[in-house]
Every structure is written in C-alpha cells, then in structure tokens.
A = this chain, B = another copy of it.
Amino acid sequence: MKAYVLLSGGIDSTTCLYLAHDEFQGKVEGLSINYGQRHVKEAEYAKKSCDALNLKHSIVDLRGVVPKTMLTDANADVPSISYADIKGVSPTYVPFRNGLLLSAITSIVHGERVKARIAGDMDEWGIYFGAHAEDAHAWAYPDCTPEFIGAMTNAIFIGTYKDVRLHTPLQWLNKQRIVELGTELGVDWTNTWSCYKGEEVHCGTCPTCRARREGFIAAGVPDPTVYAA
C-alpha cells in the first residue's frame, strides 16, 4: 500500500501531501514535475515539506514535451490580476498539463506497483492530486474540473488493471477551506511556494499570489508569506 502525491509545493498539493500521509500511514512519496515552468523553484519547497514529514521526494523531467506558454516562457509577462478578471482561456493555462503530469506519474507508480505485486502486495495504490473548486469554477482550468477528474480517474484505474486510484480530496473545497484543512493537519506554510514569477519572494500581485493571500485572510490564519507588493 502506497500513495504518491503530485506535489507542486503550493498550498493545495502540500495539503494533499499531509492528507495522504495521514491516510496511507506514512507510506507516501512526493513527486514534482519540471515541465519548464519559470517558477520551478516551487519544487524546492515541495522537497521541504517532504523533508518535514521524512518522505522521499523526486523530480520528474518533462521539459521538451510541454508547449511554450506564459508559465513556461521566461520572456512572457505574468499579468498582475485576479483569476476573476481573466476572460476566456487563461494565459496561465498550460495545454493538458494535468493530464500529462498525472499520466507520467501513473506510468511511474504502476511500474512500481507491478513490481510490488510480485512481492505479494495486492493493495490498491493511490495518486493524490490537489485540484480544487476554484480551479474548476467557470472552466478556468478544464483539466481541474470534476468532469475531467471523473474521466481521468477511470482512465488511470482501468489502464492500470485497477491497481492505481486517483484521489482528489480537495475537489469540492475552495482556498479558504484548504488553508483551514492544511493548518489543522499541521502544514508549515513557510515550506510552500505559489508565485508564478519564481523570484526571490512572492510577488503578491499575480493571480496565484492573490488567491494565496485571500485564502489566508478568509480562513483567518496568519499568513507567514513575504510579498514584494
């Protein structure tokens, strides 16, 4: 029995890590993906949280597969607006990113699971994915919607001989509830990183910084983040 967490190092996936650690009794690994994101420093934060829980952390390299977009092109501008102000396809959308990241993790996890079967482990293994309600709202990210998750959960379960199940425990929660849940589980928020710009400190104005800030305020949890603005 084992679970792997798709761990960006932000608030949502780190909360997932703590949930998985709770539910899988510590038999958990964190997997971060380098897909060429400009804020790849988030993976260092992912490792900090794994270290805090004494869990293994690895980075999977998918550069060269994911197309160039605002998030993967260091020359593009990151807009200083809220998600709510974005109309149409978000400039922060990376084509089918979560489908690709989840598939890459499933290949790796199922490779381990097939080996474990030979050693007698017939348990269902898990993959934790921190998509949440605000990601899905108004189709902001199609690959975070309940519709996508339902389809992808089936594809993973069927495509691995029912060995691996996708867990999305934050699917129906907003950022406020996730900050509350993570705080309750003991997440050290200084070990998390959100900002798309990936500079020295959080910019405080990009869409994900705004969502982070507002999440702490709404939850009434002290925000330890240093913001540039």
A-side residues, CB < 8 A to B, are: 60-62, 64-69, 89, 93-100, 102-104, 106-114, 117, 139, 142-143, 145, 147-148, 150-152, 154-156, 158-161
**CB < 8 Å neighbour of A107 from B96, B106, B155:** B96
Nearest B residue to A162 by beta-carbon distance?
Answer: B142
Complex Cα gap A109–B67 (Å)? 9
Complex Cα gap A142–B152 (Å)? 14
Chain B residues near A112: list those with CB within 8 A. Answer: 67
Most buried by B among A104, A114, A150, A158: A158
26 A-B residue pairs with Cβ-Cβ distance under 8 Å, sorted by A, are A60-B64, A62-B65, A65-B104, A67-B111, A67-B112, A69-B111, A89-B117, A94-B107, A95-B107, A95-B111, A95-B114, A96-B110, A96-B159, A99-B107, A100-B103, A103-B103, A103-B104, A139-B161, A143-B159, A145-B158, A148-B155, A150-B154, A151-B151, A151-B159, A152-B155, A154-B154
Closest chain B CB from A115 CB (angstroms): 9
Copies in the complex: 2
Are B161 and A65 in contact (CB-based, < 8 A)?
A: no
Most buried by B among A106, A108, A143, A156: A143
Nearest B residue to A113 by beta-carbon distance?
Answer: B95
Chain B residues near A154: list those with CB within 8 A. Answer: 147, 150-151, 154
Are A106 and B100 in contact (CB-based, < 8 A)?
A: yes
Given contacts A61-B65, A95-B114, A100-B106, 19 further A-B contacts (CB under 8 A): A60-B64, A62-B65, A65-B104, A65-B107, A67-B110, A68-B111, A89-B161, A95-B113, A96-B103, A96-B107, A96-B160, A99-B106, A99-B107, A148-B155, A151-B154, A151-B159, A152-B159, A154-B154, A155-B155
